[in-house]
Amino acid sequence: MTNVIIIFIHLSAAGVALGSLVFCLKIYLPMVEDKKVERNENSPSYKVLDLLTPTVFACMLALVGTGVYFLLENYSAQVGLKPGYYNLFGIKMVFVAGAFFASMYSAFSLRIHISDLDLNPGNKKLVPQTLKKMIGLSKMTLWMVAIATFLGIWLARY
């Protein structure tokens, strides 16, 4: 029963992270943003990324928490695993670490540089390049989370 709950939260967090990244970066923003106009604080991407980056990071925390808890909960069952399980797990962790740090940097460093522009109007000039960096990093996070999801499913059926 505990395993079912842990994997339910693990999969839900993966679904929310992947779903929100795909929707915002591949469907919503390409539809509403005019590519010819330079992004600024009134662009849709400014508001969307302000919500997207902390959401993805919260999912990453839930994924790490439930993933570690799953391993601890099934500690005694680990002796019977097929050889190669931890090789796959290690590869998954490389992608998880990349997604984790990319999302943390976007949510807590880049996003903060361009937030509260009323209090820091001087930061307005940073908006276009910071949004560009955040979109690039979020796209990288998307692919890393997608690969980690694939490897996770493989791991569960190994």
- Which residues of the shown chain bind ligand HEM in the complex (CB under 6 A)? 7, 10-11, 14, 63-64, 67-68, 70-71, 96, 99, 145, 148-149, 152-153, 155-156
Buried b (16+ CB within 10 A) or exposed e, 3-20: eeebeebbbebbebbbeb
Nearer to ligand HEM, 130 or 152 (CB): 152
Cα–Cα distance, 48 to 54 (Å, whole number): 11
In the bound complex, what is the minimum distance in angstroms from residue 130's beta carbon to ligand HEM?
A: 24
Find the Cα–Cα–Cα–Cα dihedral 87, 90, 95, 97, rounded to 10°: 180
Nearer to ligand HEM, 86 or 115 (CB): 86
Closest C-alpha to 127, from 27, 89, 135: 135
Nearer to ligand HEM, 9 or 117 (CB): 9
In the bound complex, what is the minimum distance in angstroms from residue 117's beta carbon to ligand HEM?
A: 31
